[in-house]
C-alpha cells in the first residue's frame, strides 16, 4: 500500500484529504462523521465574532454535475458558541483546523486567540469569501491587507496560521507571498470563484444575494493554476482546493504543488464516504505509477518544466 501520510506545517496527517470549510462542519458530530469516514483532518465552517444567520434563501444553486453556486452569507453560531463543537470532535481524536473570518486585523487577531484555546491544530483565516460585504475578498484582495491580518493573527497564537486566499484577485500568488512574509505557515487555495446565475423567467438573479461563489468541477483548473503559481513563489506548504472529486484530481493538485487538499462540493453531493473512495483511488493511482510515497510527488509537474517563449519563430 502506498504511504499517503503527509506533514502540513509541522502537523502529521494520516492522509492529505481534508474536509473543506463550510461543508459538513455544522457540529462536532458532523466533523466526527468526516473523520470516521477517513478524512485526514477537518476544517470547521468559518466562525466570526457574533452569531450570523446568513442570507435568506435561495442561497444555493446546483448546476448539473459541473458546479454549484452559493451565497450563504457566512452563517455561524459565533465564537462564544462554536468551540463546544470543536471540543466534542477533539475528544473523539479528530484533527481540527479552525476557520475564522473577520472585518479587520484586530478582529482576526481576537478570533485567532479564542480559536487557539479550543485545541485546534491550526487556524485557517478565511480571507476569501466572495459574497460577504466587509469580510473575505474585500479584506483579502490586497497583499498589504493580507500581510497586516496575518501578522496580527500570528502574533496572538502558537498554532500554525494558514491563509486561505481568493482566486478573485489579479494575482493570487502575490497574496500568498504577502501571507508567507507575515508569518503564515501554510496557504489554502482557493475559495470559490465569483459567479452569478440568472433566472430568465423572473429576469432576476437566482440567489437572494445575487452574486455568489462557484465551486465544484468547474473551478478545478482555476484552483490548479493558483496552486501552480503559488508553488513557484512561496516555500510554505499549500493546501489545494477547488473541484476535487477523484483520486486523479488529488494527484493533479499534488503534482501542481499541493501538500494536502480540501474537499467541499464533492462532500456536499456524495456525503463523507467520498473520503474513503478518493483515498482508494489515490492508492490505486500511486500503485499504478509505482510510487511508494505521495509526498515524493509534491510539485512533480514543475520539475524540468520550462515555459516556452513565443518568439522562437523566424
Ligand atoms: C455551501 C458552501 C459553504 C462554504 N462556506 C465556506 C466557509 O464558511 N469558509 C470558507 O473558507 N470557505 C467556504 N466555502 C468554500 C469551500 O471551503 C471551498 O473553498 C470551495 O467550495 C472550493 O472547493 P470545492 O470545489 O471542493 O467545493 C464554502 C463552499 C460552499 C459550497
3-state DSSP assignment of residue 166: coil
- Cell numbers representing residue 74 in the block: 457566512
Residues 16-73 pLDDT 10s: 999 999 999 889 999 999 999 999 999 999 999 999 999 999 999 999 999 999 999 9
**DSSP label at residue 15:** S
For the CA of 216, the nearest atom of ligand 1: 25
Task: Say if residue 139's pLDDT is above 90.
Answer: no
Catalytic residues: 129
52 lines ligand 1 (CB under 6 A): no
Provide the grid cell at 13. Answer: 496527517
pLDDT of res. 2: 95
C-alpha distance across the termini of the chain, in Å? 52
User: For residue 308, what pLDDT band results from cuts at 50, 70 and 90?
Assistant: confident
The string of pLDDT tens digits covering residues 75-125 is: 999 999 999 999 999 999 999 999 999 999 999 999 999 999 999 999 999
265 lines ligand 1 (CB under 6 A): yes
**pLDDT band at residue 314, thresholds of 50, 70 and 90?**
low
Residue nearest ligand 1's atom 12 by CA = 21
The torsion region of residue 119 among left (phi > 0), alpha (psi -120 to 50) and beta comes to left
pTM greater than 0.75 (yes/no): yes
Closest Cα to atom 4 of ligand 1: 22
The pLDDT-based confidence of 128 (bands split at 50, 70, 90) is: confident
Sorting pLDDT into bands at 50, 70 and 90, what band is 307?
Answer: confident
Query: Domains of the chain: which residue ranges?
Result: 6-302
Instruction: Give the C-alpha separation, 259 to 255, whole Å.
Output: 9
| Ligand 1 centroid, distance to 131 Cα (angstroms) | 12
Residue 74 Cβ < 6 Å to ligand 1: yes
Give the confidence band of 11 by pLDDT, cuts at 50, 70, 90: very high
Give the rounded distance of the alpha carbon of 155 from its chain centre: 22
Q: What CA–CA distance (Å, rounded) separates 20 from 245?
A: 12
CA nearest neighbour of 99 among 81, 90, 112: 112
Q: What CATH class is the domain 6-302?
A: alpha beta
Band the pLDDT of 130: cuts 50, 70, 90.
Answer: confident
Q: Residue-wise over 94-106: b if at least 16 C-beta within 10 A, else e?
A: bbbbbbbbbbebe
Quick: pLDDT tens for 263-289.
999 999 999 999 999 999 999 999 999
The mean per-residue pLDDT over the stretch 123-147 comes to: 85
Beta bridge partners of residue 3, listed in sequence order: 293
Q: What is the pLDDT of residue 137?
A: 67
Of residues 212, 200, 196, 125, the one with CA closest to residue 163: 125
**Residue 233 pLDDT more than 70?**
yes
pLDDT band at 134 (very low <50, low <70, confident <90, very high): confident
Torsion of the alpha carbons at 252, 255, 258 and 259, rounded to the nearest 10 = 110
Please indicate whether residue 243, judged by its CB atom, sits closer than 6 Å to ligand 1: yes
Q: Which pLDDT score is estimated for 26? A: 85
Q: What span, in angstroms and rounded, lies between the C-alpha atoms of 31 and 116?
A: 18
What confidence category does residue 313 fall into, taking pLDDT thresholds of 50, 70 and 90?
Answer: low
**DSSP, residue by residue, 121-150:** SEEEEE---TTSTTSTHHHHSSHHHHHHHH
CA distances in angstroms from 286 to 17, 130, 151, 293, listed in the order given: 15, 35, 38, 8
pLDDT of residue 138: 72
Taking each helix axis from N to C terminus, what angle separates 273-289 and 247-256, rounded to the nearest 10 degrees? 60
> Does ligand 1 lie within 6 Å of residue 23's CB atom?
yes
Question: What pLDDT score does 207 carry?
Answer: 98
Report the distance separating Cα 236 and Cα 303, nearest Å. Answer: 18
pLDDT for 312: 65
CA 3 – CA 5 distance, rounded (Å): 6
* DSSP labels, 24-67: S-SSHHHHHHHHHTT-SEEEPPPB-SS-B--PPSP-EEEETTTE
Nearest CA to ligand 1 atom 3: 22
- Alpha carbon separation from 313 to 40, 155, 198 (Å, rounded): 49, 53, 45
Amino acid at each position: 500500500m502506498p504511504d499517503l501520510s503527509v506533514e502540513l506545517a509541522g502537523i502529521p496527517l494520516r492522509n492529505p484529504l481534508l474536509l473543506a470549510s463550510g461543508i459538513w462542519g455544522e457540529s462536532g458530530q458532523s466533523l466526527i462523521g468526516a473523520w470516521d469516514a477517513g478524512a485526514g483532518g477537518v476544517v470547521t465552517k468559518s466562525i466570526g465574532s457574533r452569531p450570523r444567520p446568513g442570507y435568506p434563501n435561495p442561497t444555493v444553486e446546483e448546476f448539473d454535475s459541473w458546479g454549484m453556486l452559493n451565497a450563504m452569507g457566512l452563517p455561524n453560531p459565533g465564537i462564544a458558541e462554536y468551540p463546544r463543537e470543536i471540543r466534542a470532535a477533539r475528544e473523539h481524536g479528530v484533527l481540527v483546523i479552525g476557520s475564522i473570518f473577520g472585518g479587520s486585523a484586530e478582529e482576526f487577531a481576537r478570533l485567532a486567540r479564542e480559536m487557539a484555546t479550543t485545541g485546534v491544530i491550526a487556524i485557517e483565516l478565511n480571507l476569501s469569501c466572495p459574497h460577504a460585504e466587509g469580510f473575505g475578498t474585500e479584506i483579502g484582495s490586497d497583499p498589504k491587507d493580507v500581510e497586516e491580518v496575518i501578522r496580527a493573527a500570528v502574533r496572538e497564537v502558537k498554532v500554525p496560521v494558514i491563509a486561505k486566499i481568493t482566486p478573485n484577485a489579479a494575482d493570487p500568488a502575490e497574496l500568498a507571498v504577502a501571507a508567507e512574509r507575515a508569518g503564515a505557515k501554510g496557504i489554502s487555495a482557493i475559495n470559490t470563484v465569483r459567479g452569478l446565475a440568472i433566472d430568465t423567467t423572473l429576469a432576476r438573479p437566482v440567489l437572494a444575494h445575487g452574486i455568489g461563489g462557484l465551486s465544484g468541477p468547474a473551478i478545478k483548473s482555476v484552483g490548479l493554476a493558483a496552486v501552480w503559481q503559488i508553488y513557484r513563489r512561496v516555500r510554505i506548504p499549500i493546501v489545494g482546493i477547488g473541484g476535487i472529486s477523484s483520486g486523479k484530481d488529488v494527484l493533479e493538485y499534488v503534482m501542481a504543488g499541493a501538500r494536502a487538499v480540501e474537499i467541499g462540493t464533492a462532500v456536499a453531493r456524495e456525503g463523507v464516504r467520498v473520503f474513503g473512495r478518493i483515498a482508494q483511488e489515490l492508492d490505486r493511482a500511486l500503485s499504478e505509477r509505482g510510487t511508494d510515497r505521495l509526498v515524493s510527488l509534491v510539485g512533480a509537474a514543475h520539475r524540468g518544466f520550462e515555459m516556452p517563449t513565443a518568439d522562437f519563430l523566424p
